[in-house]
Amino acid sequence: MSALNANLTSPAVLLAVGASRLSGLGTILAVHELHAHTTAFQCNQLMNERSIDEASAYEIAFSIASLVINNTSWLAVGAPGAPTTVPRAADGGNAGAVFLLYPGTDTARTHIGYGTIELAPAAIMPFNLAPNDRFGSSIAVLGADVLPRLLVGATGRGTRGEGEIIALQLSTVDTVDNVTHFNASDPLLSPFLPSGAQLGASVASVGSIGVTSAPDSLSVAACGVPRGGRGVQSGNAMGIVLLLQLRRSTVSLAGVLAIGDGMGGFPSGLLLPGDRFGAAVATAGDVDGDGLADLAIGAPGSTRGGMDGSGAVFIAFLSVDPSSLPGVSGSSMGIGVGI
Amino acid sequence: MELSATGGSLSSHLMLRPGDAFGSALAGGGDWSGDGVPDIAVGAPGRRAVSGVGSGAAYLFVLAGVVPQGRADATLPLGGLVAAAAGGLSDGDNLGESVALIGDVDGDGVGDVVVGAPTDDDGGSSRGAIWIMFMKAAEDGAGACGA
């Protein structure tokens, strides 16, 4: 497969940054833009078959994650607007896709070369996508194996549009097996997923916090549900973040801790309907210096200072809680959360 | 710890406006300032100019930890620089809907950043675009990204 290094729309651009507030901070050396319509994306055979020039609102880069395969940095790029078929059927939009961009051979580093592999056709993934699934709404990488496991959000899946997180184990760089679906059919998750909850709007790997004594070497993933909440009938848009305790070997769900207004250590009264708490989640690194990674949570609909929808970011300080905060259904996550 | 129009001393660096949707995307773990406290990248795809026209934005925030109180010490805006590049952004591109740290792509010892603009219309409606921001160390030698 060809690399994209000769097909970027813009060459390296040197930019001067003069703002005084940048003192002590990195500055931007150059900017590249990768456009979907260029021959760059089409140089890959898969993409030629897919023909991204077909008139479709792919929404490429709705989500992005970096990953390492065979000691090389790749990008996983979500395109939740991708159609189910080409050309797009009348009702075939927004099934979604994830593109794996692999580095090219340009050693001059004045350009970045990328080829593409698309995770969407049934030939690659052992399940079908449907219109409006919006697969690729979010992406995270779980584990550091030679071929990593991807967690991909699909906010439109589910009989009531509750959304879903799909764990995909790559068996080769362009083949998927061992698929696991996390959705409202699981009794640990269903209490938090009203109609239109948008599970899968965001996802991040948090590591093994609080689970070191578990027998199956559990890992924790943070999943944002920006229109979810406990005990609500339909998406109230206040939002919630679910920490999913996953058994590493089978990627099955062992426990859930909900973080939201007045839940899971998060204070009451900071969130309101419309805040979309959990629209974004990310590991923030160890901000408080306690040796454990902390969690950044976005609430882009928040109103602060009278400015509607200006947005907010919360840093949730995670800790190993000796008292073991109770999860649902009797599970114990052993994770403390402070803001 | 809250970063918002009224939290985390953010207003001394960045004046948020209605509809900015600050916090729509997040990426953390890098340490561009080299102070040992990880910094974060935040997307604000709804960011517009006062005139109402705009294409979104993304920012890097240098965090000062939590003693005595968490705050953002400096802000590096990314969107304006993208807009200045050839084939730049246009109204409604929603730059900052996604953001990720991608390690040191250009080999200069400083971690780089990728930012998505999923409703970029170049070549067709909402095709989307990916911007790779090549970072470099500040002239005072502040540390490299740890991502």
Question: A237 to chain B: which residues are within 8 Å by CB?
Answer: none
Residue A186 has pLDDT above 70, yes or no: yes
Q: Taking chain A, what is the end-to-end CA distance rounded to the nearest angstrom?
A: 47
| A67 in contact with chain B, both atoms CB, cutoff 8 A | no
**Which positions 207-236 of A are in contact with B (Cβ < 8 Å)?**
none
Residue A57 has pLDDT above 70, yes or no: yes
Strand order from edge to edge, sheet including A27-35:
A27-35, B129-136, B112-117, B98-103
Query: Percent helix, strand, coil in chain B (nearest 5)?
Result: 5, 35, 60
- Span A61-81, pLDDT tens digits: 899 998 887 777 788 888 898
Q: Residue B115: CB partners within 8 Å, gap ≥ 6?
A: A61, A64, B41, B43, B58, B78, B82, B95, B96, B98, B99, B130, B131, B133
Q: Which of A10, A38, A280 comes nearest B85 by C-beta?
A: A10
- In degrees and rounded to multiples of 5, residue A33 shows phi and psi of -125, 130
Interface test with A, best of B31, B47, B101, B114 (most A CBs within 10 A): B114
- Span A18-29, pLDDT tens digits: 211 222 334 455
| A285 in contact with chain B, both atoms CB, cutoff 8 A | yes
- Span B112-128, pLDDT tens digits: 888 888 888 776 677 77
Mean per-residue pLDDT, A187-208: 92
Highest mean pLDDT among A131-135, A277-281, A291-295: A277-281
Rounded-to-integer distance, Cα B52 and Cα A11, Å: 30
Contact B142 A24 (CB under 8 A): yes
What is the structure's pLDDT at A339?
Answer: 67
Question: B138 to chain A: which residues are within 8 Å by CB?
Answer: 22-27
Per-chain mean pLDDT for chain B: 73
Q: Residue B59: CB partners within 8 Å, gap ≥ 6?
A: B14, B41, B42, B44, B75, B76, B77, B78
Q: Which residue has the higher pLDDT, A170 or A30?
A: A170
DSSP assignment of B9-40 equals TGGGT----TT--BTSEEEEEE-SS-SSS-EE
> Of all residues in chain B, what percent carry a pLDDT higher than 90?
12
Task: Answer whether 0.95 is exceeded by the pTM.
Answer: no
Residue of A nearest to B27 (CA): A282
Q: Which of B44, B76, B126 comes nearest A59 by C-beta?
A: B126
Question: A75 to chain B: which residues are within 8 Å by CB?
Answer: 100, 102, 114, 130
Phi-psi region of A162 (alpha: psi -120 to 50; beta: other; left: phi over 0): alpha
Q: What is the ipTM of this complex?
A: 0.85
Interface test with A, best of B14, B35, B130 (most A CBs within 10 A): B130
Mean per-residue pLDDT, A240-258: 86
Residue A8 has pLDDT above 50, yes or no: no
Per-chain mean pLDDT for chain A: 73
Query: A39 by DSSP, 3-state: which?
Result: helix
Strand order from edge to edge, sheet including A114-119:
A63-69, A72-79, A97-103, A114-119
Closest alpha carbon to A157 in A128, A177, A178: A128
